[in-house]
Amino acid sequence: MSIFASIFCPKIRHTRLTENMEIKDKVFEKFIEGNDIAKRIKAIAKSINMDYNGKSPLFIAILNGSFMFAADLMKEVDISATISFVKVASYNDMESSGNVKQLIGLAEPIFQKDVIIIEDIVDTGRTIKKILNEFTSLGAKSVEVASLLRKPLASSADVNIKYLGFDIPDKFVVGYGLDYDSLGRNLKDIYQLKV
Ligand code: 5GP
């Protein structure tokens, strides 16, 4: 883990805000304000601008959940850069009897590029590991991860998130691009499932 992520990444453990939001059959409470998200994104972009000074990284945003984070992050990146978008499709492989994740829509050549993956949230770390392996095998010069959120399980998954927004508890969250049953992506704050 980078010094940046380990020292400056805020750990959000408790719900600090009380505004409730009903989405379908569930009640969520406000958890991270849009203003705080914006501040973290500015800090992340500042680090990226310094780390990639003189390079021209290729950002790859993982849709759908990262669309808002990606848009706001890119507005703060002031070095030469390109961005592309991919999706991760899950399907059940009968032979391996597991849920297999496949990357779709990768149109950009990755070979010899400095890649920064933009992800909304890392939970078990399975998705990001799959993507990291794929980009590495395609010959990327370097691959780093920028994730807005990280849940506790990710730390046992041995995934290095160089640019991290917030460490959060293991509770379902929605808003700022993240959905509950396709709803809530448009919310400018992040909400946590109320139990
Ligand atoms: P992982 O492979 O790390 O277990 O899962 C990562 C993916 O699971 C994320 O990209 C996201 O789509 C989904 N996910 C994990 N936790 C949450 C959550 O709390 N809320 C929402 N909306 N999606 C989540």
Q: What is the pLDDT of residues 164-182, one digit of tens each?
A: 999 999 999 999 999 999 9
Cα distances from 14 to residues 26, 33, 174, in angstroms, run 19, 13, 16
Cα distances from 68 to residues 74, 103, 148, in angstroms, run 10, 20, 10
What confidence score (pLDDT) does residue 95 get? 56
Identify the residue whose C-alpha is closest to ligand 1 atom 16: 123
Q: Is any atom of ligand 1 closer than 6 Å to the C-beta of 147?
A: no
**Which atom from ligand 1 is nearest to the alpha carbon of 130?**
2
| pLDDT value at 96 more than 80 | no
**Which atom from ligand 1 is nearest to the alpha carbon of 184?**
22
| pLDDT value at 157 more than 90 | no
**Which atom from ligand 1 is nearest to the alpha carbon of 174?**
22
| pLDDT value at 7 more than 50 | no
What confidence score (pLDDT) does residue 17 get? 65
Residue of 51, 65, 175, 72 whose CA lies nearest to 116: 51
**First CA to last CA distance, the chain:** 32
Mean pLDDT of the chain: 90
What confidence score (pLDDT) does residue 3 get? 47
**Which atom from ligand 1 is nearest to the alpha carbon of 124?**
4
pTM: 0.91
For residues 195 and 177, give the distance between their C-alpha atoms in angstroms, rounded to a whole number: 22
Q: Amino acid letter at 139?
A: G
| pLDDT value at 98 more than 60 | no
Distance of CA 121 from the midpoint of ligand 1 (Å): 6
Q: What is the pLDDT of residues 38-66, one digit of tens each?
A: 999 999 999 999 999 999 999 999 999 99
Mutating to test ligand 1, I would choose from 64, 119, 120 the residue with most ligand atoms within 8 A of its C-beta, which is: 120
| pLDDT value at 97 more than 80 | no
Q: Is any atom of ligand 1 closer than 6 Å to the C-beta of 121?
A: yes
| pLDDT value at 109 more than 90 | yes
Q: Is any atom of ligand 1 closer than 6 Å to the C-beta of 173?
A: yes
| Local confidence band at 139 (pLDDT 50, 70, 90 cut-offs) | very high
What confidence score (pLDDT) does residue 107 get? 86
Query: Angle at the Cα of 111 (from 125 to 123), degrees rounded to 5?
Result: 10
Distance of CA 151 from the midpoint of ligand 1 (Å): 9
Neighbour tally for 106: CB within 10 Å: 16
Q: Amino acid letter at 52?
A: Y
| pLDDT value at 161 more than 70 | yes
Kindly name the residue from 36, 51, 114, 123 that is annotated as catalytic. Answer: 123
For the question of residue 179 being annotated catalytic, the response is no
Q: 15-19, 36-40, 153-157: lowest mean pLDDT where?
A: 15-19
